[in-house]
Amino acid sequence: MHLRDLTGPEQLKRLTPAELAELAAEIRRVILETVAANGGHLAPNLGVVELTLALHIVFDSPRDKILWDVSHQSYVHKLLTGRLHQFHTLRQYGGIAGFTDPRESVHDHFHWGHASTSISAAVGMAKARDLAGDDYEVVAVIGDGALTGGMAYEGLDHAGQDKTKLIVVLNDNSMSIAPNVGGISNYLARIRTGPSYQRVKHDVAEALRQIPFVGSQALDLVDRLKEGVKHLLVHNMFFEDLGFTYLGPVDGHNLAALQDVLRQARSYPGPTVVHVVTTKGKGVPYAEELPDKFHGGGPFDVATGRTGPGAVTYSEVFGRTICKLAAEDQRVCAITAAMPDGTGLSRFARQFPDRYFDVGIAEQHGVTFAAGLAKGGMRPVFAVYSTFLQRAYDQVIHDVALQNLPVTLAIDRGGLVEDGATHQGVFDVAYLRAIPNMVVMAPKDENELQHMLYTALCHEGPATLRYPRGKAQGVPLDETLQQLPIGRGEVLQEGTDVVLVGLGTMARVCQEAARLLAEKSISAMVINPRYVKPLDADLLLAAGRQVGAVVTVEEACLAGGFGSAVLELFAAHGVDARVTRMGIPDEFVDHGKPAHFLERYGLTPEGVAQRAEQLLLQVRADLSAQPARPKRTVRRVGAKAAGSERP
Ligand X SMILES: Cc1ncc(C[n+]2csc(CCOP(=O)(O)OP(=O)(O)O)c2C)c(N)n1
280 in contact with ligand X (CB under 6 A)? yes
* Catalytic residue from among 78, 91, 165, 280: 280
Q: Among 24, 139, 167, 175, which residue interacts with ligand X (rule: CB under 6 A)?
A: 175
564 in contact with ligand X (CB under 6 A)? no
173 in contact with ligand X (CB under 6 A)? yes
281 in contact with ligand X (CB under 6 A)? no
Residue 175 or 608 with smaller CB distance to ligand X: 175
End-to-end, the C-alpha distance of the chain in Å comes to 66
Element (H, E) at 385: strand 379-385
Helices (H) and strands (E) in the chain, counts: 25, 17
177 in contact with ligand X (CB under 6 A)? yes
Q: Is the bond preceding residue 436 a cis peptide, omega within 30 degrees? A: no
- How far apart are CB 203 and ligand X at their closest, in Å? 31
Would you call 600 a catalytic residue per the annotation?
no
Would you call 306 a catalytic residue per the annotation?
no
Contact status, residue 85 vs residue 34, Cβ threshold 8 Å: no
413 in contact with ligand X (CB under 6 A)? no
Nearest-angstrom CA–CA distance, 523 and 433: 31
> Helices marked H in 416-534 — which ranges?
428-433, 446-458, 506-518
Q: Among 38, 71, 120, 176, which residue interacts with ligand X (rule: CB under 6 A)?
A: 176
Q: Among 168, 338, 432, 550, which residue interacts with ligand X (rule: CB under 6 A)?
A: 338
Residue 92 or 336 with smaller CB distance to ligand X: 336
Q: Among 28, 56, 65, 72, which residue interacts with ligand X (rule: CB under 6 A)?
A: 72
Residue 176 or 464 with smaller CB distance to ligand X: 176
The Cα-based distances of 148 to 70, 170, 177, 337, 392 in angstroms read 13, 12, 12, 10, 15
- How far apart are CB 50 and ligand X at their closest, in Å? 14
Q: Among 34, 71, 73, 279, which residue interacts with ligand X (rule: CB under 6 A)?
A: 73
Smallest CA-to-CA distance from 591 within 40, 35, 36 is with: 40
Q: Looking at 143-151, 186-194, 320-328, 604-612, which segment touches ligand X (CB under 6 A)?
A: 143-151
- Go through the chain and tell me how many residues it has: 647
- How far apart are CB 463 and ligand X at their closest, in Å? 22
> How many other CB atoms sit within 10 Å of the CB of residue 595?
13
Element (H, E) at 565: helix 562-573
Q: Among 101, 104, 137, 144, which residue interacts with ligand X (rule: CB under 6 A)?
A: 144
> Helices marked H in 210-248 — which ranges?
216-233, 238-242
- How far apart are CB 108 and ligand X at their closest, in Å? 17
Q: How many residues bind ligand X (CB under 6 A)?
A: 26
Q: Among 9, 39, 98, 143, which residue interacts with ligand X (rule: CB under 6 A)?
A: 143
List Cβ neighbours of 133 (8 Å cut-off, separation of 6 or more): none
Q: Among 146, 169, 255, 416, which residue interacts with ligand X (rule: CB under 6 A)?
A: 146
Phi-psi region of 259 (alpha: psi -120 to 50; beta: other; left: phi over 0): alpha
Would you call 545 a catalytic residue per the annotation?
no
Smallest CA-to-CA distance from 466 within 406, 537, 389, 366 is with: 389
Q: Looking at 171-179, 215-223, 251-259, 268-276, which segment touches ligand X (CB under 6 A)?
A: 171-179
Half-sphere exposure of 563 (CA within 13 A, CB side): 22
472 in contact with ligand X (CB under 6 A)? no
Q: Which letter, b or e, does each residue of 312-336 get, where b requires 16 or more Cβ atoms within 10 Å of its Cβ?
A: ebbbbbbbbbbbbbbeeeebbbbbb
- How far apart are CB 192 and ligand X at their closest, in Å? 14
100 in contact with ligand X (CB under 6 A)? no
Q: Among 78, 114, 253, 444, which residue interacts with ligand X (rule: CB under 6 A)?
A: 114
Residue 268 or 588 with smaller CB distance to ligand X: 588
Name the β-bridge partners of 358. Answer: 336
Which amino acid belongs to residue 114? H
Nearest-angstrom CA–CA distance, 19 and 286: 26
Q: Among 9, 39, 44, 155, which residue interacts with ligand X (rule: CB under 6 A)?
A: 44
391 in contact with ligand X (CB under 6 A)? yes
Residue 140 or 325 with smaller CB distance to ligand X: 140
* Catalytic residue from among 363, 446, 554, 555: 363
Residue 72 or 78 with smaller CB distance to ligand X: 72
Q: Looking at 109-117, 125-133, 444-452, 593-601, which segment touches ligand X (CB under 6 A)?
A: 109-117
Check residue 477 and report its DSSP letter. Answer: P
* Catalytic residue from among 282, 391, 413, 508: 391
Nearest-angstrom CA–CA distance, 49 and 25: 9
159 in contact with ligand X (CB under 6 A)? no
Q: Where in the sequence numbering do the catalytic residues fall?
A: 280, 363, 391
Give the interface with ligand X as residue ranges (CB under 6 A).
Answer: 44, 47, 70, 72-73, 113-115, 143-146, 171, 173, 175-177, 280, 295, 337-339, 361, 363, 388, 391
